[in-house]
Homo-oligomer: A and B are copies of this chain.
Amino acid sequence: MSRLDSFIRRLEAQRACIDRAVALAAPLPGPVIEVGLGNGRTYDHLRDRARGREIFAFDRHVAAHPACVPDAAHLLLGDFRATLAQAASALGGKIAICHADIGSGDEAASQALGAEIAPLIDALMAPGGIIVGDQVMRAARWEELPLPPGIEPGRYFIRRVRA
């Protein structure tokens, strides 16, 4: 499999998992958080698929396409560990969908970051909320959900907060 094949497969998995998360969270009110705005492609996708939901995006700095940058009230810039913790006063227990695509080229650092921010994300999630993303993340009240058909285990992850 070429790197082009692998990249396409990763993006298709990402899209299928986000779409699944949006469908699973349909009965639940509440905003979306996008942890890692990056180039803004998945933010745009969430905006399209989860219409009507408020979306708050977190990142260190803005590197997104200008059409995919949220307004200042929905953009939380800085280290995830600080901004996710700060968001708890306004958003704690309210989030219906979290998408966290936080992997960098450094696999060990990405895993460590995932482990560090899982409890901070957990504090924001509503009961029944869905957490979808590219890293292993665990919290006591989360259950792993099966991936959409055709997606290799470990490529992406979907969990639900037990109600």
Contacts and interface: CB of A to CB of B under 8 A. Distances in A.
Nearest to A65: B3
Task: Name the prevailing secondary structure of the A interface residues.
Answer: helix
Contact of A47 (B2, B5, B48): B2
Contacts of A47: 2
A156 to B, nearest CB: 13
22 contacts: A1-B48, A2-B47, A2-B48, A2-B49, A3-B40, A3-B41, A3-B44, A3-B65, A4-B11, A4-B14, A4-B15, A4-B41, A4-B42, A4-B44, A4-B45, A5-B45, A7-B11, A8-B8, A8-B11, A8-B12, A8-B15, A11-B11
Closest 9 pairs (CB-CB, A-B): A4-B45, A2-B45, A2-B48, A3-B44, A4-B41, A3-B41, A2-B44, A8-B11, A4-B15
